[in-house]
Each structure stands twice: as C-alpha cells, then as structure tokens.
C-alpha cells in the first residue's frame, strides 16, 4: 500500500472520529485521522466546565431527539456507557457521579483526550492536525481490495503550507461535528459533504442553549441577572426539574438548556416555580399564611420561598399589589399561585451557535444504516457523532452518542 493510501480516512478528531479510528485500527485497518484544527478533542476539552461530563449511566433512546428516535438504539446498545466507563477505569482516570447518572472527571477533561490519543497510538492510528480538506470525491470504476475508492485532497500547515496532497482511502468517515461553538473550529463541512453525495440534510438549529426574548422582557430579565430558581420547565411535551438562570441575554441554566432542545418557534416555555408543591398545597400554604400572619405584606411572605428581587419583579409584572395578606382576597392569592405554577413565556429564539452546546438536526438518519452509520447511497461513506440527526439531552448523552456511533462505524470501515 502506497504512503498516501489508507483503508480508512476519518475526517474530524473529536470524540466520534477518534473512537471510530481506534476501533478500525484495532482490526488491522490502516487508519488516518485528519483535522483542520491544531488540537485533538477541542470540544471535549471545554466540556463540563473543563471536567468533561463524559457519559451518562442512564443513556437510552429516550434521551435523544431525532426525526427517527429509534435510530440510535442499535449503536447505544452495542457500546454502552459501561463500556466507555471501562476504558476510563482501565486508564485509571478518577471520576465521580454528579447527579442523575452524569459522570465527570475528578481532574481535567484533558484526561479523556489523553486516553483517546493513547488508544490511537496503541492501535497504530495516524493523526494529522492542521489539515484543511479541499475535496472529497469518489473515484469512478476504481477499487482497492474490492472496495470503492475515495480521493481526499488536503492542504497541510506548518512547513508544508500551500502544499496540496491527495490521499486515497476505501472508507471515509465524516466526524466533523455540528455548527455549535465556531470559536473552537466548528463548521458546516460535514453537511456540505452529505449534500455533495446526495444525502438529505435536515434543518439545523442551535440547541442546549439559552433563550432570548422580546426587548421588553429581556430588559426585565437583565435586571435579575445572576439569579437562579429551582423549577420544573416544560416545552414541546418534555419536562425537566432543574434550575433556570436569569442572564443579560435572557434565560439560561440547565432547565432552559434542556427545554431548548425541544423548542421550536411559536412554542411556549412553561415554568413551575413551586415544583415541590401541588397547586392545592401551594394555595393552602398561602391562604394559611394569610390566616396566621394576616398583617405581613404579600411580598415579604413570598420571600420565604423566592429571592426578594424575583418576587418584587413578579408581583410588579403581574400587577399584584404589595399589601398585607388580610387585605387580599383568597381568589387573588389563588390567581398568584396559578401564575407561579404555570408561568408561560414566549421565547423569541435562542442565543445561537456561539453559545449552544450542540446542533439539532443534521444528516437524515433515513440515509444511514443504524447498525454501521454507513450511507445507504454511497458505500464506504460514513457519518458519525453530532453531524447526524441525533441530539442528546444535557448531561453526557451527546458524548455517549459520539462514543457509540464512532464505535459502531469502527467495526466495519
């Protein structure tokens, strides 16, 4: 085999691409990983506050959004969170479970990147950074070991700046991620390749992202910036019990990020700000307070459950007069509880790809084999990770999809 010929060319040195390369090389396949960036695993390095929420023990198809929710089942079942955890343990990386099955490194996210690079080295993967992909084409009427050949043209950095090189491979894996966080190198390259080869690409949008609102609402929210509330957030038929965080941009925090994955323009975001109480229990709490502490101001009583800044804002926004409870009718108190239990907000949009953790949408799963991630139209062409229309909840689910989809493709490329 010539120096520019490979069994497998993986484009993208993120989690999915590296996992695919490791598995392919373990099978004796001559495997090359190309990335236009200067670092391996850039998104891994910044994830989880620098500690990488590398998987979630509860991961199942229930935790993913896709036009075909069943598509991810095969890969997730064959390479599970426990399988990735075994790798972490084998490399003696200290970790902990934060909550809800979320596993984080005790130390740095760089531990996970180092583990993957070490696995690549052990398997014989060839890794090239600073390689800008000029083109990917399928060569007509040419085979290598009985397989169709692809030609990948790259320009390299460093001493080879400006030099164009042609590489040949029998399998090409697109593992270039989505559009989120362009400052670390995210591009639409994977979608462009899919379209070039005639694969359908579904509409994409920023997800796991904060909400923005009308200028009037946003101005009010900016005055509450930094304030966090426990709530049950609901949007698009899905509910999450987490905190929301008021920001200068609008509304963020885990609950907002989770529901953003299920939000589409026109949908309402509903917050239950007393999630530990039923409507009846909350009404009883407030009316009993009126009976036992009749002279206390409404706002002062509510501050026992809410930050002062918030309840002042909420009462003003909904025109509840700040006066002693004894002077407020029971019906008015029940109306207040109704608003706190069902606070409806109409987002204008999300902050955008510069802050979003993932991209929703992507290469249509109908175009791919759920077992191998190979294109049904173009044998030898694979798509793995975030570039595919499979998007996980916040909490390690997207990394698990990267590991599982990369592993699945690595068994066959």
pLDDT tens digits, one per residue of 103-142: 999 999 999 999 999 999 999 999 999 999 999 999 986 6
The answer on 271 and 388 residing in a single domain is no
Torsion of CA 207, 211, 212, 218, to 10 degrees: -170
The answer on 84 and 198 residing in a single domain is yes
Contact predicate 336/286, CB 8 Å:
yes
- CATH number of the structural domain spanning residue 54: 3.50.50.60
Domain total of the chain: 2
The answer on 160 and 48 residing in a single domain is yes
CB burial string 196-220: b at 16+ within 10 A, e below = ebebebbebbbbbbbbbbeeebbee
| 84: DSSP letter | H
- Average pLDDT per 10 consecutive residues for the chain, totaling 413 residues: 87 98 98 95 93 97 97 98 98 94 96 98 97 94 68 75 86 96 93 98 96 94 96 96 95 97 96 97 94 93 93 91 92 95 96 95 98 97 98 97 98 98
- CATH number of the structural domain spanning residue 345: 2.40.30.10
What distances in angstroms separate CA 122 from CA 21, 114, 119, 232, one per listed residue?
Answer: 11, 12, 5, 46
The answer on 54 and 184 residing in a single domain is yes
Q: Which domain holds residue 233?
A: 210-351
- Token pair recorded at residue 383: 């798509």
d(CA 238, CA 37): 36
The answer on 31 and 92 residing in a single domain is yes
- The reported pLDDT for the residue numbered 3 is 76
* Residue that terminates a domain, selected from 351, 373, 397: 351
Start-to-end Cα distance in the chain: 17
- The reported pLDDT for the residue numbered 140 is 84
- Token pair recorded at residue 334: 């029940």
The answer on 12 and 92 residing in a single domain is yes
Three-state DSSP class for residue 221? helix
Q: Is 158 left (phi over 0), alpha (psi -120 to 50) or beta?
A: left
- The reported pLDDT for the residue numbered 159 is 46
The answer on 185 and 230 residing in a single domain is no
- Token pair recorded at residue 6: 């490979």
- Token pair recorded at residue 106: 């005790």
The answer on 12 and 134 residing in a single domain is yes
Q: Which residues make beta-bridge pairs with 228?
A: 245
The answer on 191 and 144 residing in a single domain is yes
- The reported pLDDT for the residue numbered 100 is 85
* Residue that terminates a domain, selected from 351, 370, 386: 351
The answer on 341 and 222 residing in a single domain is yes
* Residue that terminates a domain, selected from 313, 329, 351: 351
The answer on 221 and 196 residing in a single domain is no
- Token pair recorded at residue 244: 């929301």
Q: Which residues contact 194 (CB under 8 A, 6 or more apart)?
A: 174, 200, 201, 363, 367, 383, 387
The answer on 84 and 197 residing in a single domain is yes
């Amino acid at each position: 085999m010539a120096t520019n010929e490979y069994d497998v060319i993986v484009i993208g040195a993120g989690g999915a691409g590296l996992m695919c390369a490791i598995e392919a090389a373990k099978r004796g396949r001559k495997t090359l990983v190309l990335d236009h960036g200067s670092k391996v695993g850039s998104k891994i390095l910044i994830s989880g506050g620098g500690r990488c929420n590398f998987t979630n023990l509860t991961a199942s198809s229930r935790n993913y959004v896709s036009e075909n929710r069943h598509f991810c089942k095969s890969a997730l079942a064959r390479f599970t969170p426990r399988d990735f955890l075994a790798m972490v343990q084998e490399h003696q990386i200290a970790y902990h479970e934060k909550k809800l099955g979320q596993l984080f490194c005790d130390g740095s996210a760089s531990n996970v990147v180092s583990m993957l690079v070490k696995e690549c080295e052990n398997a014989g993967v060839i890794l090239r950074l600073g390689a800008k992909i000029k083109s990917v084409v399928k060569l007509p009427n040419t085979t290598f070991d009985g397989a169709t050949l692809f030609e990948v043209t790259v320009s390299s950095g460093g001493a080879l700046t400006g030099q164009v090189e042609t590489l040949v491979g029998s399998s090409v894996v697109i593992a270039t991620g989505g559009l989120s966080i362009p400052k670390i190198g995210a591009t639409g390259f994977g979608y462009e390749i899919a379209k070039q080869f005639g694969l359908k690409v579904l509409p994409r949008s920023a997800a796991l992202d904060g909400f923005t609102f009308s200028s009037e609402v946003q101005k009010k929210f900016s005055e509450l910036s930094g304030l966090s509330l426990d709530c049950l957030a609901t949007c698009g038929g899905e509910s999450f019990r987490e905190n929301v965080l008021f920001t200068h941009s609008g509304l963020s925090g885990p609950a907002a990020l989770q529901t953003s994955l299920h939000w589409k323009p026109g949908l309402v975001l509903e917050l239950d700000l007393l999630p530990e109480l039923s409507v009846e229990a909350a009404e009883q709490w407030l009316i009993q307070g009126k009976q036992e502490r009749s002279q206390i101001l409404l706002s002062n009583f509510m501050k026992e459950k809410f930050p002062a800044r918030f309840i002042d804002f909420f009462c003003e926004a909904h025109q509840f007069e700040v006066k002693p409870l004894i002077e407020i009718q029971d019906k008015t108190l029940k109306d207040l509880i109704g608003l706190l239990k069902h606070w409806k907000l109409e987002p204008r949009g999300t902050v955008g790809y510069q802050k979003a953790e993932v991209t929703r949408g992507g290469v249509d799963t109908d175009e791919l084999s759920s077992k191998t991630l190979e294109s049904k139209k173009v044998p030898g062409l694979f798509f793995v990770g975030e570039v595919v229309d499979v998007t996980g909840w916040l909490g390690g689910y997207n990394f698990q999809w990267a590991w599982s989809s990369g592993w699945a493709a690595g068994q066959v490329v």
